[in-house]
Structures are given as structure tokens and as C-alpha cells.
Amino acid sequence: DAKTTQPNSMESNEEEPVHLPCNHSTISGTDYIHWYRQLPSQGPEYVIHGLTSNVNNRMASLAIAEDRKSSTLILHRATLRDAAVYYCILRDSQGGSEKLVFGKGTKLTVNP
Amino acid sequence: DVKVTQSSRYLVKRTGEKVFLECVQDMDHENMFWYRQDPGLGLRLIYFSYDVKMKEKGDIPEGYSVSREKKERFSLILESASTNQTSMYLCASSLSGLMNTEAFFGQGTRLTVV
């Protein structure tokens, strides 16, 4: 599986934007970029995914670099409920194993 | 509307016991996964199943086995529980062949082996 690199932790203030980076320099052309988050004492939940173009949904935006070697999850206005561990993972759409492999993620702290 | 259900939220077992962790999904997903989560180590894949009776080892399969007799149910088995298997266990499921769809997770089972 292609690997991703994320900072161990980040801090933000409430109601400010948060940019969570992810490096995936070995990404292949058919890998989808997925983001999940895990709130305290819960299982991970899906946030957003993309292939080449930037994506928006009700939870967040995903900005993908033109060379696709990095991406950024954007929370437009952080709330205390956004405090979680955020995982960036790659999923290959061209055959092979469909294992879903997570790294250690980024722990986001939101300060009031 | 619960989609992935793990049979227990908390379990306490004795060393040497055979332990079964059950996971059921109601979305007709082909793929099912078992992870364990420990502080500082993130989510580590134990086993993956892509169809009934089919499985692949994940990163840390030692000490575990799995069973998938029906599409909706995926069981994780600790043949002889040990204290180093004390952990949070998470089950997930996803559609097969569509990497642009999401995976769904259960709430987790916190297992303590004493």
C-alpha cells in the first residue's frame, strides 16, 4: 500500500480554519485519497475523498496538489466537536488487495 | 441507524481463554476488516475478508484468527487470550471494487485480558 505522512498533532482555535496536511509522494495515478476522523471513544468516520480535483462537502474541503503528491483537509471553522484524530489514507482502484490501511493520523486539538 | 454492530462494547477475559469478537453489518458489503488500536500506534489491521470464507492477513495477524461464514458477519477469534491482546478492537466494512466509497466502522470493543 502506498504510504502517507501526517504530522502527529496540530492545534487550532475555535472558529478558525484548520489545514491538515498529508504527504503521499508515492501515490499512483489510480489511488483515491480518503480522509477519516476518529472522535474520542468512537470508531472512525468518513470525512471526504478525492482523486484529482478539489472536493467540498458539508464536513470539510479537500485540496489536492496538482502533482497529487500531497493533499490538505480543510475545516473552514473549527469547533470543539472537531477535536479528533484525522487519518489520510490511499485506496487503489486498480485491482490488487482492497485492504484499508491506516497510519497514526494527526491529533487535532481545538482550543476554546 | 446502526450499520456496523460489534457484539460487546466492553469485555473482560482471563488469560488463556478463547475469545470471540463478533461484527455484523447490514449494508451487504463484501469487504470486512478487523483492527486493533493502542495508544500511540494508530489503527493496525489484523485481518481483512473480501468475501465469504475468504481472508487476507493484515499487519498483525499473529495470535488471531477469523471466520466469515456469512456475508454479514465477521468474527475475530483469540485462540488463547494473552495480556498483550488487551486493546480496543474495531470492525469495519466497505463495498468491494469501488475505491471511491466509504468504509463504515463499529463503535469498538474494549477488551481487557487479565
pLDDT, mean over chain A: 91
| Per-residue pLDDT at B41 exceeds 70 | yes
Interchain CB distance below 8 Å, A104 and B90: no
> What pLDDT is attached to residue B14?
98
- Chain B environment of A101 (Cβ under 8 Å): 45, 58-59
Residue B42 has its nearest CB partner, among A43, A91, A104, at A104
Minimum distance, in Å, between the CA of residue A11 and any CA atom of chain B: 18
Q: In chain A, what percentage of residues exceed pLDDT 90?
A: 72
Nearest CA in chain A to B100: A32
User: Percentage of chain A with pLDDT > 70?
Assistant: 94
The arithmetic mean of pLDDT across residues B53-76, rounded, is 95
SS (H, E, C) chain A: CCCCECCCEEEEECCCCEEEEEECCCCCCCEEEEEEEECCCCCCEEEEEECCCCEECCCCEEEECCCCCEEEEEECCCCHHHCEEEEEEEEECCCCCCCCCCCCCEEEEEEC
pLDDT in tens, A47-101: 999 999 999 999 999 999 999 999 999 999 999 999 999 999 988 766 666 778 8
pLDDT for the residue A2: 56
